[in-house]
């Protein structure tokens, strides 16, 4: 019997020697984008009004807010919008205080570009436009340094139990980077049905060649000690300590594509909107963005290396390297949620306008459908049947006052406030914000600039090892746009 268990122990030692352990435990994989995940529109003018623009929608960015408002453009125009974002995330870990800190990232991007041409056909006012826009960005970077400890128990043989106890401790660094966007080419058109009512539609075509792709990389570096104690019937029979040095790099590549056939409604993205001038004061706008299914190509791979030295026998050294291995390379489907909103604007005078928007997004329908048919929530990363995600409701209020100088040019003053929650596993995280904006406009061009501050406290859950925390998020956004009228 003694010989039998001696053989088992020798076999186990050989297995440990040729299959060195890699310490896992990367940080929680967040599904948050860098800014607001809610599908709002673009442009400096709208940003300056706090994003309250569905009931106004009277410039070329209406294709992203409410394409029914495009009919208000009276002359051909081209527009360009540039953006800058500064995102701060503050994390305070108690168990792993070394991972605490303020993380920030700077983003510069082309937010929007468009051409619009109004015309008349059979006594009907119409307009067509071609737009290129950034809808989401996924750029992030986090760097965690913390003390790591783990304990594993492995039963080697039945009967009088032979057990291996593995205790690992040391310093770990986990680096996560993500970059990429969802960008769309969006042809749009609107028609004036009656003197006070118009309808519009914008088709959003996503393709990797247009910039609809993103990539995540995870780096894990560990320096520490592995203590191994093998017991038989509760009595230690083997005890070893090893110095461990390991490195791991994992990559996750995504491409995003919708159907090139605009009549394939299940796999195409649309914005459908209306604008109704109720009277000389009030205008009601509405927009509906149906859910759709996009094709996503997903590729996951990793590489790793590890050095292990027996502290009692420096000649007992093991070096193991795993070259690049592709784990997954398949076509998947991403089910995007439907969203819809209403905006009511009041034009108190030719110079002063206010707008109130309410907007809902059905995040419970935001899913990833893998090649094997398994459907996961994109909010939690778990089976959709185990996820209780709620819709989000945005509320935005903004206004604009025009200072007119001898009818030669106008200087706008804009401001707005908003509630812009983000979806989570259960109840949404609360985010709030305000914005201001100004610019100058003549009969040939308009220049607008806007600043927005958005914040959330105790939001965006993060898990590091066994510790779970929430963080404080602050975001500064600046949009600058120029429009030229022909």
Q: What are phi and psi of 47, to 5 degrees?
A: -60, -40
Range of 162's domain? 2-485
For residue 460, what pLDDT band results from cuts at 50, 70 and 90? confident
Residue 11 has pLDDT above 70, yes or no: no
- In tens, the pLDDT along 73-84 reads 999 999 999 999
Residue 451 has pLDDT above 80, yes or no: yes
- In tens, the pLDDT along 299-339 reads 999 999 999 998 888 888 888 888 889 999 999 999 999 99
Least confident of 46-60, 93-107, 235-249: 93-107
Distance of CA 187 to the CA centre of its chain: 24
Q: State the Cα–Cα distance between residues 43 and 127, nearest whole angstrom.
A: 19
Contact by Cβ (8 Å): 82, 200: no
| Both tokens assigned to 35 | 């800014």
What pLDDT is stored for residue 105 in this prediction? 87
Q: For the chain, what is the HEC assignment? A: CHHHHHHHHHHHHHHHHHCCCCCCCCCCCCCCCCCCCCCCCCCHHHHHCCCCCCCCCCCCCHHHHCHHHHHHCCCCEEEEEEEEEEEEEEECCCCCHHHCEEEEEEEEEEEEEEEEEEEEECCEEEEEEEEEEEEEECCEEEEEEEEEEEEEEEEEECCCCEEEEEEEEEEEEEEEEEEEEEEEEEEEEEEEEECCEEEEEEEEEECHHHCEEEEEEEEEEEEEEEEEEEEECCEEEEEEEEEEEEEEEEEEEEEEECCCCCCCHHHCEEEEEEEEECCCCEEEEEEEECCEEEEEEEEEEEEEEEEEEECCEEEEEEEEEEEEEEEEEEEEEEEECCEEEEEEEEECCCCEEEEEEEEEECHHHCEEECCCCCEEECCCCCEHHHCCCCCEEEEEEEEEEEEEECCCEEEEEEEEEEECCECCCCCCECCEEEEEEEEEECCCEEEEEEEEEEEEEEEEEEEECCEEEEEEEEEEEEEEEEEEEC
Q: State the Cα–Cα distance between residues 453 and 193, nearest whole angstrom.
A: 38
Residues 6+ apart with CB under 8 A from 267: 258, 259, 261, 292, 293, 294, 295
Residue 136 has pLDDT above 80, yes or no: yes
Enter the pTM of the model: 0.85
Top pLDDT among 98 and 120 is at: 120
What pLDDT is stored for residue 34 in this prediction? 54
Instruction: Please state, in angstroms and as integers, the Cα–Cα distance from residue 134 to each residue in 100, 131, 206, following that order.
Output: 32, 10, 10
Q: What is the CATH number of the domain that holds 158?
A: 2.40.160.60
What pLDDT is stored for residue 252 in this prediction? 93
- In tens, the pLDDT along 190-248 reads 999 999 999 999 999 999 999 999 999 999 999 999 998 888 877 888 888 999 999 99
Residue 28 has pLDDT above 60, yes or no: no
- In tens, the pLDDT along 254-291 reads 999 999 998 898 999 999 999 999 999 999 999 999 99
Instruction: Please state, in angstroms and as integers, the Cα–Cα distance from residue 199 to each residue in 78, 124, 193, 351, 356, following that order.
Output: 21, 12, 7, 26, 20
What pLDDT is stored for residue 16 in this prediction? 35
Residues 6+ apart with CB under 8 A from 138: 33, 34, 178, 179, 180, 181, 182, 214
What pLDDT is stored for residue 99 in this prediction? 77
User: Which of 14-18, 23-27, 377-381 is modeled with the greatest confidence?
Assistant: 377-381
Please, what is the average pLDDT of the chain?
87
Residue 33 has pLDDT above 60, yes or no: no
Neighbours of 155 (CB within 10 A): 9
What pLDDT is stored for residue 38 in this prediction? 66
166 forms beta bridges with: 152, 228
Top pLDDT among 144 and 225 is at: 225
Average pLDDT of 348-361? 96
Buried b (16+ CB within 10 A) or exposed e, 402-419: eeeeeeeebebebbbebe
Residue 415 has pLDDT above 90, yes or no: yes
Residue 29 has pLDDT above 60, yes or no: no
Contact by Cβ (8 Å): 268, 261: yes
| Both tokens assigned to 92 | 């305070």
Residue 103 has pLDDT above 90, yes or no: no
Total structural domains within the chain: 1
Average pLDDT of 344-351? 95
Q: Tell me how long the chain is.
A: 486
433 forms beta bridges with: 418, 454
CA-atom Rg of the chain in angstroms = 28
Burial of 56 (C-beta count, 10 Å sphere; 0-12/13-18/19+):
buried
Contact by Cβ (8 Å): 110, 117: no
What pLDDT is stored for residue 236 in this prediction? 84
410 forms beta bridges with: 404, 441
């Amino acid at each position: 019997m003694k010989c039998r268990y001696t053989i088992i122990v020798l076999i186990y030692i050989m297995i440990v020697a040729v299959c060195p352990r890699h310490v896992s435990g990367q940080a929680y994989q967040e599904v948050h984008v860098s800014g607001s995940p809610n599908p709002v529109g673009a442009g400096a003018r709208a940003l300056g009004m706090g994003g309250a623009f569905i009931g106004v929608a009277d410039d070329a960015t209406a294709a992203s807010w409410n394409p029914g408002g495009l009919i208000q453009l009276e002359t051909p125009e081209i527009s360009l919008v540039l953006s800058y974002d500064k995102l701060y995330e503050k994390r305070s870990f108690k168990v792993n205080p070394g991972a605490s800190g303020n993380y920030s990232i700077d983003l510069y991007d082309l937010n929007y570009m468009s051409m619009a041409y109004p015309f008349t056909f059979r006594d009907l006012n119409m307009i067509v436009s071609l737009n290129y826009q950034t809808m989401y960005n996924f750029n992030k970077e986090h760097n965690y340094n913390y003390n790591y400890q783990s304990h594993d128990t492995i039963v080697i043989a039945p009967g009088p139990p032979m057990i291996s106890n593995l205790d690992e401790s040391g310093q770990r660094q986990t680096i996560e980077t993500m970059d990429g966007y969802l960008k769309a080419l969006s042809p749009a058109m609107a028609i004036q049905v009656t003197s006070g009512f118009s309808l519009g539609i914008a088709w959003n075509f996503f393709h990797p060649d247009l910039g609809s792709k993103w990539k995540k990389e995870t780096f894990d570096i560990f320096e520490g000690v592995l203590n191994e104690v093998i017991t038989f019937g509760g009595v230690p029979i083997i005890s070893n300590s090893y110095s461990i040095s390991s490195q791991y790099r994992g990559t996750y590549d995504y491409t995003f594509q919708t159907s090139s056939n605009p009549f394939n409604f299940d796999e195409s993205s649309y914005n459908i909107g209306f604008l109704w001038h109720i009277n000389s004061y009030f205008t009601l706008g509405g927009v509906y963005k149906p859910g759709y299914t996009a094709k996503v190509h997903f590729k996951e791979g990793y590489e790793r290396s590890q050095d292990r030295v027996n502290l009692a026998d420096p000649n007992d050294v093991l070096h193991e390297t795993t070259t690049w291995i592709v784990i997954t390379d398949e076509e998947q489907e991403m089910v995007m949620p439907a969203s819809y909103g209403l905006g009511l604007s009041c034009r108190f005078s030719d110079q002063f306008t206010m707008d109130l928007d309410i907007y809902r997004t059905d995040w419970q329908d935001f899913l990833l459908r893998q090649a094997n048919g398994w459907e996961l929530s994109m909010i939690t990363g778990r089976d959709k049947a185990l996820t209780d995600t709620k819709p989000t409701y945005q509320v935005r209020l903004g206004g604009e006052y025009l200072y007119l100088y001898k009818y030669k040019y106008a200087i706008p003053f804009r401001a707005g406030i908003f509630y812009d929650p983000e979806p989570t596993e259960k109840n949404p995280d609360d985010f709030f914000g305000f914005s201001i904006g100004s610019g100058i406009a003549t009969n040939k061009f308009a220049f607008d600039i806007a600043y927005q501050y958005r914040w959330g406290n105790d939001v965006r859950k993060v898990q590091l090892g066994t510790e779970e925390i929430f963080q404080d998020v602050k975001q500064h956004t600046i949009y600058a746009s120029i429009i030229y009228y022909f």
